[in-house]
Structure 1
Amino acid sequence: MTRTHPLATAIRTLLRTLVPVSAAGMVAFGVMTALVPANAGASSRIKDIVDVEGVRENMLIGYGLVVGLNGTGDSLGNSPFTEQSLIGMLERMGVNTRGQSMKTKNVAAVMVTGTLPAFAAQGSRIDAAVSALGDAKSLLGGTLLVTPMLGADGEVYSVAQGPLAVSGFSASGQGASVTRGVPTSGRISAGAIVEREIEFSLAELPVLRLSLRNPDFTTAQRVAQAINSVFGANTARPTDPSSVVVTVPQMRRGDIVGLMTEIEQLRVTPDQAARVVIDEKSGVIVMGENVRISTVAIAQGNLTIRITENPQVSQPNPLANGQTVVTPQTDIQVDEQSNNRLAIMSNGVSLQELVESLNALGVGPRDMISILQSIKAAGALQAEIEVM
């Protein structure tokens, strides 16, 4: 029995609503439905939900100088570290400026950051991000001088240098100023050269450890079952909610890349815990599909009092001995939201039914946060609430 994907059914209904279906139209529709996978959204690749232990990036950081600024650099009087760095750099070039007063504003002290990819070879290039450290106004037009970039162990892994690409700018006059983006940060595409490699022999590992990005017991078990169904029993076993240990088969020793390629393309359906994430600052609410509500009654309403002042001008009759005065007119409206009703949610209400019921009560995101917290306090929300 052939099953039709819901998306294909929706496309068919939409086409019948918009235009009569002709023979040519049915041919075009057949092409569209053929492009809809039978299990779209039902599962995910293992590649998209796990990381391989040891295959990781490393953060790099460095301190350097940007020169060539058009008077928008650091004030040496307010940024002593910039002056000391400039004096030290000039001394290495054979120029002695100690004891001299320097007032240049074409130099800025910056922090340089980058990410060293896994298995980056010596001589390859990576991007470098540059951010002002002092009171520089803009890094537009500047050039970063040679800057060693260090790892967490204090060793130099790359060296950055080159002209900056700054997307923001700032302009000002006596009466107005305009700033677009962030002119005190820039980027050097492929501006850092890798000088040291991180030793890691992936091909010689007898055991691989897969780390789940969202730890879960059920998901870890499903990943192990998917791998065992292809490579044999006992090839993979979950050790905890976030780790799956894969023993490299004897015939695949030395072919770790090929083995991982096949494992990454396997599909599993990740499971997730029932969780409600609330961001109090922005009023954002995110609820998982497994959130359930026990039988509970909800009523929501706010008393709103609106006072409007509409003063009227009162004038005397012609030739009368009177004065023109302003007569206050006050309009008071009280909204008790009497249209809102008490809603009863039966046991096992799904996420969709919960949202529809709260929307029917006219509940906004802010009020919905309080309602969800009250439902949780009543013990009727079968989910974890996480407040950001």
Structure 2
Amino acid sequence: MRVLLALLLLLAGPALAERVKDVARFQGVRGNALVGYGLVVGLPGTGDDNLVFTLQSMRSALAALGVVIPARANAQLKNAAAVMITAELPPFAKPGQRIDVTVAALGRTKSLRGGTLVLSELKGPDGETYALAQGQVSVSGFGAEGADGSKIVVNTPTSGRIPGGAVVERGVPIPFAGTGSGSAPTPLVLDLLTPSFSMAQAVADAINAQEGGGVAQAIDAVSITVRAPADPAARVRLASRIEALEVEGSAPAARVIVNARTGTVVIGGNVRLLPAGIAHGNLTVAVTETYTVSQPAPFARRGQTVVTAQSDVSVAQEKTRMALLQPGPRLQDLVDAINTLGAAPGDLVAILEALREAGALRAELVVI
């Protein structure tokens, strides 16, 4: 059976210029994770149904509004669900700005569709409240259940999003501004998204060519320091000029990525092949048993009916085929050779690993 390879052939060609803002970020300019606990109400009978912490949450929420539920009251909470809330506070977020939040069921609710999140606090790792979340939950999944227990679920109905559902109450200080007068200004530091010595040096050279020699210096495969003024407005102007710079870096590392479950293969354009021959064959051993009944002769006094088993062992071996890989950068040679062998997705990983061990595949092999 021929293997269908879904290929993304990134053909090696002239290096394309990339903007600095697409390959690097200024150090310290990052988002911050927020988390909270809340209550979703208004569900059409798909809630937690009297879970202990859901009852406690409902009592606390109503007590804050002046409604006291007796301790022994048997509250039916099929329309409410306890949820965890997550969000990311973007860099330079200011009070009053809105951010998206994600809610996920904590108990045994069947669906959050149609629910509304009650006002909840979103806190950072330091325990401080940075945002307040509330609003209608948007759920992409749904489920249906019959009286006989049969059911169908599409996507995930127990989690959803609230676009713009949280209001920022406080921002996170970001060390972007330089120091005051009387001391040396703090340099700006660029961090590459993908470590590369060649790209780090290329970014530093581009900055020096525009701003003057010695302004930028690559200190490792990730970070580039940039000498910057202390004035915040001047630092912003410098950062904007740096982000708009175009840099011609080196080609990415040769890499082959294989998804063994789906048989999908992504091959980078810098992959190189050396001459190699591949033989691939399958050996199948089948054991079948046939049961027969042996009965004694009619009117026999000492006979007994017994069941006997007859085993049949068969061996089938497919004809082994040899494929020849031609040297050079032609990725189609590798594709044609694997298709000629008729390798299954599970065998494809073994073939590529064998090629790499033999030195015929000059690339990093990543199996996911």
Paired residue for 2:322, among 329, 341, 348? 341
Equivalents in 1 of 2:223, 2:255: separation in Å? 22
Deviation at 1:210, TM superposition (A): 1.1
Aligned match of 1:63: 37
Deviation at 1:295, TM superposition (A): 3.6
Contact residue 235 and residue 249 of structure 1 kept, 8 A: no
Pair 1:216-2:190 in alignment: no
Contact residue 188 and residue 225 of structure 2 kept, 8 A: yes
Pair 1:260-2:232 in alignment: no
Aligned match of 1:292: 272
Deviation at 1:91, TM superposition (A): 2.6
2:209 match: secondary structure: helix
Which deviations, in whole Å up to 9, do the C-alpha atoms of 1:181-221 show, x marking residues without a partner?
A: 32222221211110111112524263111111110111111
Deviation at 1:360, TM superposition (A): 4.6
Aligned match of 2:73: 100
Comparing 108-117 and 86-95, the one that deviates more: 86-95
Pair 1:135-2:74 in alignment: no
Which deviations, in whole Å up to 9, do the C-alpha atoms of 1:14-70 show, x marking residues without a partner?
A: xxxxxxxxxxxxxxxxxxxxxxxxx99723221111111111011111001111222
Equivalents in 2 of 1:247, 1:356: separation in Å? 53
Contact residue 274 and residue 325 of structure 2 kept, 8 A: no
Equivalents in 1 of 2:126, 2:93: separation in Å? 17
Equivalents in 2 of 1:130, 1:185: separation in Å? 6
Equivalents in 1 of 2:30, 2:271: separation in Å? 34
Paired residue for 1:163, among 111, 136, 139? 136
Structure with a larger share of its residues in helix: 1
1:297 match: secondary structure: strand
CA change 1:84–1:246 in 2 (3 A) is same
Paired residue for 1:278, among 258, 283, 287? 258
Q: How does 1:8-23 map to 2 (within 5 A)?
A: none
Deviation at 1:178, TM superposition (A): 3.9
Query: Which amino acid is the alignment partner of residue 120 of structure 2?
Result: T
Pair 1:116-2:89 in alignment: yes
Comparing 279-288 and 355-364, the one that deviates more: 355-364
Deviation at 1:149, TM superposition (A): 0.2
1:255 match: secondary structure: helix
1:288 match: secondary structure: strand
Pair 1:248-2:228 in alignment: yes
Contact residue 323 and residue 337 of structure 2 kept, 8 A: no
Normalised to the residue count of structure 1, the TM-score between the two structures is 0.74
CA change 1:194–1:134 in 2 (3 A) is same
1:282 match: secondary structure: coil
| RMSD of aligned residue pairs (Cα, Å) | 2.9
Comparing 184-193 and 256-265, the one that deviates more: 256-265
Contact residue 110 and residue 132 of structure 1 kept, 8 A: yes
Aligned match of 1:194: 168
2:54 match: secondary structure: helix
Q: How does 1:290-329 map to 2 (within 5 A)?
A: 290-302=270-282
Aligned length: 321
Contact residue 282 and residue 318 of structure 2 kept, 8 A: yes
Paired residue for 1:80, among 25, 40, 52? 52
Equivalents in 2 of 1:45, 1:337: separation in Å? 53
Contact residue 299 and residue 343 of structure 1 kept, 8 A: no
Query: Which amino acid is the alignment partner of residue 214 of structure 1?
Result: T
1:149 match: secondary structure: strand
2:322 match: secondary structure: coil
Pair 1:354-2:327 in alignment: no
Aligned match of 1:149: 122
Equivalents in 2 of 1:199, 1:209: separation in Å? 17
Q: Which runs of 5+ in 2 are unaligned?
A: 1-12, 179-184, 287-313
Contact residue 325 and residue 334 of structure 2 kept, 8 A: no
Equivalents in 1 of 2:232, 2:71: separation in Å? 62
Query: Which amino acid is the alignment partner of residue 255 of structure 1?
Result: A
Comparing 79-88 and 203-212, the one that deviates more: 203-212
Aligned match of 2:20: 46
Equivalents in 1 of 2:232, 2:41: separation in Å? 52
Structure with a larger share of its residues in strand: 2
